[in-house]
Amino acid sequence: MQFKMSPNSLFAILLRSSCWISFAIAVVLALAARFILPGVYGTFAASIAIPFVIIGVIVAWKQREVPSDARIAGTVDAVSAMSWRDFSALIEQAFQRDGYVVTRMNGAADFMLLKAGRTSLVSCKRWKAASHGLEPLRELEAERLAQEARGSIYICTGNVSDNARRFAADHKIVLMQALELTRLLRLPRKAPKSKA
């Protein structure tokens, strides 16, 4: 039997929150136990804060890889200003850096990725579009079936319609939007402008 945490439990909520909240609860509980209970009992009672410290460490570990809103916005601005040639070269290099063998394609898919015997298709030619509907996802799924690929990735910086999002979920198409694109590309941070 596998343990499953209720999504509305205190610990589940804390796992979705900022790490400082768990640490603050731990400090309050430890101080309260120390001042309410006498001597040695207060020290032992302060151990009730340990689970909150552990949750805080887990959340901090997960959040260390999450780019800031400013970094995400900077990446979106940078890739939106790029030509297709520059953007596609950047995408190709990013996947190669992550260990994929990358083959350029023409049609609904722009790249074929191969890693550990698993083939995936990537469509990213419409990355600048403000909104994305069903049609490009249907084309990508048809190409995936024709190529007998195991997975597919659709890269965009704009909004994806609800119908397109449902289609992607139903066909296991990975939607790589601003956050995921920022993680993939790892563009260097812009140096702050020097004041004259």
Q: Report the DSSP pairing between strands 111-115 and 101-104.
A: antiparallel
Determine which of 43-47, 105-109, 112-116 has the lowest per-residue pLDDT on average. 43-47
Round to whole Å and give the CA distance between 181 and 76.
8
Asked whether residue 120 carries a pLDDT value surpassing 50, the answer given is: yes
Biggest CA-to-CA distance, the chain? 74
143, amino acid identity:
E
Q: Which residue has the higher pLDDT, 77 or 193?
A: 77
Asked whether residue 1 carries a pLDDT value surpassing 70, the answer given is: no
**What is the pLDDT, as a whole number, of residue 95?**
96
Identify the residue whose tokens are 């850096």: 97
Round to whole Å and give the CA distance between 81 and 158.
14
Which distant-in-sequence residues (6+ apart) come within 8 Å of 167 by Cβ? 134, 137, 138, 141, 173
Asked whether residue 191 carries a pLDDT value surpassing 50, the answer given is: no
**What is the pLDDT, as a whole number, of residue 38?**
75
Main-chain phi, psi angles of 186, to 5 degrees: 50, 50
The answer to whether the beta carbons of residues 134 and 161 sit under 8 Å apart is yes
Q: List the one residue out of 145, 158, 157, 154 whose CA is nearest residue 174.
A: 154
pTM above 0.75, yes or no: no
Q: Which residue has the higher pLDDT, 56 or 67?
A: 56
Name the residue ranges covered by the structural domains of the chain: 10-62, 69-185
- Going by pLDDT thresholds of 50, 70 and 90, the confidence category of residue 194 is very low
pLDDT tens per residue across span 23-56: 999 899 888 887 888 777 766 777 888 889 999 8
Asked whether residue 112 carries a pLDDT value surpassing 50, the answer given is: yes
**What is the pLDDT, as a whole number, of residue 196?**
42
104, amino acid identity:
R
Percent of the chain with pLDDT strictly greater than 90: 53
Main-chain phi, psi angles of 111, to 5 degrees: -140, 150
**Architecture (CATH level 2) of domain 69-185:** 3-Layer(aba) Sandwich (3.40)
**What is the pLDDT, as a whole number, of residue 189?**
66
Main-chain phi, psi angles of 153, to 5 degrees: -130, 130
Instruction: Identify any residues that bridge with 111 across adjacent strands, giving them in sequence order.
Output: 104, 122
